[in-house]
Structure 1
Amino acid sequence: MTPSHIAALRLHNQQIARTRFEQPHELVAWLGAAQGQDYSGALWSLGLRLPGSTDTQIEQALLDRTIIRTWALRGTLHLVAAADLRWLLDLLAPRVLAGSALRLRQLELDEQTLTRSNRLIANAVSDGQPHSRTELFALLEANGISTQGQRGYHMLIRASWEGLICQGVAVRNVPTFLALDQALPPGKKLARDEALAELAGRFFTSHGPATLQDFVWWSGLTVGDARAGLEAVKRELTQEAVDEQTYWFPPSLSDPEHVDGTLYLLPGFDEYLLGYRDRNAVLDPQYTSRIVPGGNGVFYPTIVSNGRIVGTWKRSIKKGGVFIGAQPFTSLAPAEEAAFAVAAQRYGAFLGLPVTLGQA
């Protein structure tokens, strides 16, 4: 299995090269979870996998609460299917909460303060209405709890991990928060071993070919828990050894062996890159700093051609449309330039805006 074959299978299984779904919540459930750090990018991450969809339609799924944006895998923001949120929290929260202890001490957030902040936040959202981060921070400050220096941010995370709140639709790029129990009906409960198997099955089916180490990275689970999940589902998967690594992926007679040559514009933080610890199959390591300048954790949107990440792109929305510019690692071939224009038009259609190519 060559890097090109790995890329082709990932494009296929991640629903980028083709899709089997029509609804955002079906797609998110298939993926297990989708990176959600950047709000507009998260909408496009689903939109590019649902051809013909618009940002309004994806956002409607958030309004309808069939998908939820909250802190999930690795303690970072993700989109998850509403039906999966509760069992994911049950499975993942204990490890993340334990891992946050040092940072909370650094911020001088003790359990007494967090209990108070949880109570204030829960009371505020109990009216069933969305409340902005700004509102909740003001409430905490008015009650003598400082939100400075990331304290407010970590109090919202804590309330989310304890199942008190979840995010609603962002308003002017400011997140809003809802009472989880009012936003969602009771979800299914899974025993721990069932949850591990469920998460592993979804990851390797939707992200494969992938390794155990990729699953550990993506999920935030311990190696032992990740291995237990894989053991429970590996009979349903195909495996292949490449360079002393074992890759797991779903068996299918229709899987492609070669990338179809289509060029894609992916948002920053997309699963195609962030879903794996080892990204060498799709990205030459020498270009990593072009995608994450300074290693600051902020991933730029990427251009994918023939399964490989070949550059980054920028967009700026101005009066009358969206301006999109390419920043390739090396010069794009004429066919790639034409394909970039097609992909840019697809993104413009998603936003409902005319596209101008050039410097964004």
Structure 2
Amino acid sequence: MTGKPRHIGLAERRARLGLRQRLATSSRAAAPEEVADSLVALHGTDPATVYLAVGARLADARKTVAQVERALYEDLSLVRMHGMRHTVFVFPTRLAAVVHASTGLDIAAKARAALVKDMADGSGGRLTERWLDEVEASALAALARRGEATVNELTAEEPRLKEHFAYAAGKSYEGVHTVSSRLMRVLGVEGRVVRGRPLGSWTSSQFRWAVAPPHPPLPPAEARSELMGRWLTACGPATEADLKWWTGWKVTDVRRALAASGAVAVSLDDGVTAYVAAGDEDPVDGPDAPWAALLPALDPTPMSRPERDWFLAPSLRPALFDRSGNVGPTVWWDGRVVGGWAQRPGGEIVWRLLETGDVGREAREAIAAEAERLRAWVGDTRITPRFRTPLERELSAE
């Protein structure tokens, strides 16, 4: 595109968010795969987030748990794996090769080198790289035979996984690591194993492991270009800083991927240059009607970028984020965060507005309807976010 970059104002940014993130009522999806494809990645650090994020975006949320479990564990159309920033996400399975080549390879190389060094240093040289290769091959063979297995089940077949080694001796964070915990994480970022079924319900954080579905190797630059294009379609316009944060790439890789994907520069209200995907430059009209949403802790929409002031007022951050920058449950009205919510021990979904402004009767009724919709499909399950925030703690205790 030549000449002056097209300007995308606040209203259009919020319109794009509502439509592309499947939050506007008219844009809700029919299946979990549609949600994951639209968002590129569902944050999976807290297992409940995956289901809650999908349920908030389905036209009919009543079968959320069954549909997500089928996609993850039967159809294998979704996969839970390590991705950007060494974080666990749920991706469309067909994106596994793209994520691995664009992001996982560099992380995996560093993670394996660190494991080999830490093992040698922490065991007095007893646990060597060659020893690790033998244990790893044995563990993967056992996992292939079983299909899925817990770490305890794998250590029953390969006892050397239980070996310990000291870590960071003499430092404030020194401790003892097991080979199994570190090795499975390395194999995860290498794209060789993925998280399988949990041991408990859909909120459980204890998972079995499974051999990763095979995928063809891709050139890293090609993979970064594809991932960039997909993410900008879902979340654009975005700045270089947004993209660097979300991907975890070097700024040079971000810029190369922007160029290779044909991303188009636009301007924002604050005068900052941002980018949209190739072919996505035309103005976007808003949804047919204002919309409300109750999004879970770590939801991919608020966690998609570090610069959030255009949809979340800075004054709301102390109540809605923990000290590490993890967002808690949020209440949305027509493109911006206006409050937070929590579940009480009895199952009731409670919410509070933190920003009233133009949030009138229509908004309050729509938010109340979303709270009831959430309560209905969650049923008897009790949800406690893995990273708790001040407002969530307060609301859940009332």
TM class by shorter chain equals 0.7 to 0.9
Q: Displacement, 1:200? A: 0.7
Q: What SS does structure 2 have at the residue aligned with 1:265? A: strand
Structure-1 residue corresponding to 2:164: 146
CA contact (8 A) 1:86 1:187 kept: yes
Structure-2 residue corresponding to 1:272: 301
Q: Does 1:192 align with 2:203?
A: no
- Distance in 1 of aligned mates of 2:288 and 2:43: 24
CA contact (8 A) 2:321 2:328 kept: yes
Larger Rg: 2
Q: Does 1:47 align with 2:55?
A: yes
- Distance in 2 of aligned mates of 1:253 and 1:162: 39
Q: Does 1:81 align with 2:81?
A: no
Q: What SS does structure 2 have at the residue aligned with 1:247? A: strand
- Distance in 1 of aligned mates of 2:34 and 2:199: 25
CA contact (8 A) 1:29 1:84 kept: no
Q: Does 1:16 align with 2:23?
A: yes
CA contact (8 A) 1:10 1:209 kept: no
Structure-2 residue corresponding to 1:70: 81
Structure-1 residue corresponding to 2:3: none
Alignment-mate amino acid for residue 60 of structure 1: R
Render the CA deviation track for 1:47-76: whole Å, top value 9, x for unaligned: 222221422111210012110011111110
- Distance in 2 of aligned mates of 1:106 and 1:311: 44
Structure 1: state its 5+ residue gaps.
none
Q: Displacement, 1:352? A: 5.0
- Distance in 1 of aligned mates of 2:379 and 2:9: 38
Render the CA deviation track for 1:312-357: whole Å, top value 9, x for unaligned: 2112565xxx3212143356754443222211122234335699xx
Identify if the C-alpha distance between structure 1 residues 270 and 144 changes in structure 2 by more than 3 Å, giving closer, same or farther.
closer
Structure-1 residue corresponding to 2:390: none
Structure-2 residue corresponding to 1:176: 208
- Distance in 1 of aligned mates of 2:105 and 2:222: 17
Structure-2 residue corresponding to 1:249: 276
Structure-2 residue corresponding to 1:6: 13
CA contact (8 A) 1:32 1:80 kept: yes
- Distance in 1 of aligned mates of 2:338 and 2:39: 24
Q: Displacement, 1:276? A: 0.8
Q: Displacement, 1:122? A: 1.0
Structure-2 residue corresponding to 1:263: 292
Q: What SS does structure 1 have at the residue aligned with 2:301? A: helix
- Distance in 1 of aligned mates of 2:284 and 2:379: 33
CA contact (8 A) 1:303 1:310 kept: yes
Please, which moves more after superposition, 272-281 or 117-126? 117-126
Render the CA deviation track for 1:291-311: whole Å, top value 9, x for unaligned: 22222x543111112322122
Q: What SS does structure 2 have at the residue aligned with 1:167? A: strand
CA contact (8 A) 1:4 1:281 kept: no
Alignment-mate amino acid for residue 79 of structure 1: V
CA contact (8 A) 2:291 2:334 kept: yes
Q: Does 1:57 align with 2:67?
A: yes
Give the 5 Å matches for 1:127-142: 127-136=145-154
Give the 5 Å matches for 1:165-244: 165-172=193-200, 173=204, 174-180=206-212, 184=213, 186-234=214-262, 237=264, 239-244=266-271
Identify if the C-alpha distance between structure 1 residues 19 and 156 changes in structure 2 by more than 3 Å, giving closer, same or farther.
farther
